[in-house]
């Protein structure tokens, strides 16, 4: 029976790996297309905000199902969300960092070819490993450190003589693009590990923590929308420039993160307090890849 379970798990792992690889590639290519096409360019800050709203709605729905009744659901929200301003403030830190990370991804793909972005962005794996060692006091074996440095070396070699970028109709600034990736990498590593540390500090439900973080995230992203594109949005509208491709990118952002956290829970049997949010699911999966 155990052997059968192992075989099923192996096949499922391969299936999930293939699906996540295809989704990640599709996300990068689709996002790149929406930022470089000759159509009316949408506001990336609004796309980030909408993603946070969708994730909040999902978390609320799952918490409602988890509590089992409307009364317990309301009590949980009243106690852990409305009655915990300190916890909301604590979760505003990763919310802010994730908002910066997501906006940097849009900025990077507006200025870099999709392949260059995809390869360079993988530096978030060693960044996450370093943050894990510094913030969670974990240790990595020599083999794990060698793997991390090999990844860095691989990224360097790929960028040594990058392929000819595809022609686009908008002006690009590669230096700005690489700067945006660097910021996104640092944000990804720090925010993921910070949120994991918050989760492990108490036995609060994962979905309550998600609601706390996404509420803060919506506020943070709305402030970003106002500061960055407020005047133009008043003139053109919040959904200016939105096409089916833009909604496809938003759905991929949401679906990819959801799939990653579900795979983490299913494959590794992570307890609730050791799991991260939908966004942190990616970090959790990659931590297991390098054995953190």
2: exposed, middle or buried (Cβ count in 10 Å: 0-12, 13-18, 19+): exposed
Q: Using the structure block, give the residue that is written with the tokens 């507006």.
A: 110
User: pTM (2 decimals)?
Assistant: 0.74
- At 150, is the pLDDT very low, low, confident or very high (cuts 50, 70, 90)? confident
What is the per-residue pLDDT for 255?
A: 62
Tokens representing residue 153 in the block: 């070396």
Q: Reply yes or no on whether the pLDDT at 276 is more than 80.
A: no
Can you give the C-alpha Rg of the chain in angstroms? 20
Q: Could you give the residue ranges of the DSSP H alpha helices within the chain?
A: 2-36, 44-67, 70-77, 85-109, 114-120, 124-136, 142-160, 174-200, 206-236, 244-268, 280-290
Going by C-alpha positions, the residue among 267, 272, 280 that lies closest to residue 207 is 272
Contacts of 246 (CB under 8 A, 6+ apart): 34, 42, 47
What is the pLDDT averaged over residues 145-158?
73
Looking at every residue in the chain, the average pLDDT score rounds to: 77
Between the alpha carbon of residue 152 and those of residues 109, 149, 159, 192, the distances in Å are 20, 5, 11, 20
Spatial separation of the C-alpha atoms in residues 114 and 144, rounded to whole Å: 28
Q: Reply yes or no on whether the pLDDT at 106 is more than 80.
A: yes
DSSP 123: G
What is the per-residue pLDDT for 263?
A: 52
Above pLDDT 70, what percent of the chain?
77
Per-domain residue ranges of the chain? 43-161+170-239
What is the per-residue pLDDT for 45?
A: 92
Residues 48 and 189: beta-carbon distance below 8 Å: no
What is the per-residue pLDDT for 284?
A: 40
Q: Reply yes or no on whether the pLDDT at 127 is more than 60.
A: yes
Between the alpha carbon of residue 230 and those of residues 53, 218, 224, 246, the distances in Å are 19, 15, 9, 20
Q: Reply yes or no on whether the pLDDT at 43 is more than 90.
A: yes
Q: Which of the two residues, 165 and 256, has the higher pLDDT score? A: 256
Q: Which of the two residues, 3 and 91, has the higher pLDDT score? A: 91
What is the pLDDT averaged over residues 212-233?
90
What is the per-residue pLDDT for 291?
A: 35
3-class SS at 166?
coil
């Amino acid at each position: 029976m155990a052997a059968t379970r192992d075989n099923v798990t192996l096949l499922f792992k391969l299936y999930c790996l293939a699906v996540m690889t295809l989704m990640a590639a599709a996300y990068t290519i689709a996002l790149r297309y929406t930022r470089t096409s000759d159509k009316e360019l949408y506001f990336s800050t609004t796309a980030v905000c909408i993603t946070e709203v969708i994730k909040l709605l999902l978390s609320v729905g799952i918490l409602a199902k988890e509590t089992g009744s409307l009364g317990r659901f309301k009590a949980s929200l009243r106690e852990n969300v409305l009655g915990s301003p300190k916890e909301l403030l604590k979760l505003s830190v990763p919310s802010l960092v994730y908002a910066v990370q997501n906006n940097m991804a849009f900025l990077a793909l507006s200025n870099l070819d999709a392949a260059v972005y995809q390869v360079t962005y993988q530096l978030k794996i060693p960044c996450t490993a370093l943050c894990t060692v510094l913030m969670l006091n974990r240790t990595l074996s020599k083999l794990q450190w060698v793997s991390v440095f090999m990844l860095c070396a691989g990224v360097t070699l790929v960028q040594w003589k990058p392929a000819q970028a595809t022609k686009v109709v908008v002006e690009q600034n590669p230096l700005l693009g690489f700067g945006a990736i660097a910021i996104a990498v640092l944000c990804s590593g720090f925010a993921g590990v910070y949120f994991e540390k918050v989760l492990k500090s108490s036995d609060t439900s994962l979905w309550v923590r998600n609601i706390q973080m996404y509420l803060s995230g919506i506020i943070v992203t709305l402030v970003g929308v106002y500061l960055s594109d407020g005047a133009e949005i008043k003139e053109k509208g919040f959904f200016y420039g939105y096409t089916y491709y833009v909604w496809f990118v938003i759905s991929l952002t949401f679906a990819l993160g959801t799939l990653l956290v579900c795979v983490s829970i299913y494959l590794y049997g992570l307890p609730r307090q050791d799991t991260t949010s939908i966004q942190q699911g990616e970090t959790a999966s990659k931590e297991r890849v390098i054995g953190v």
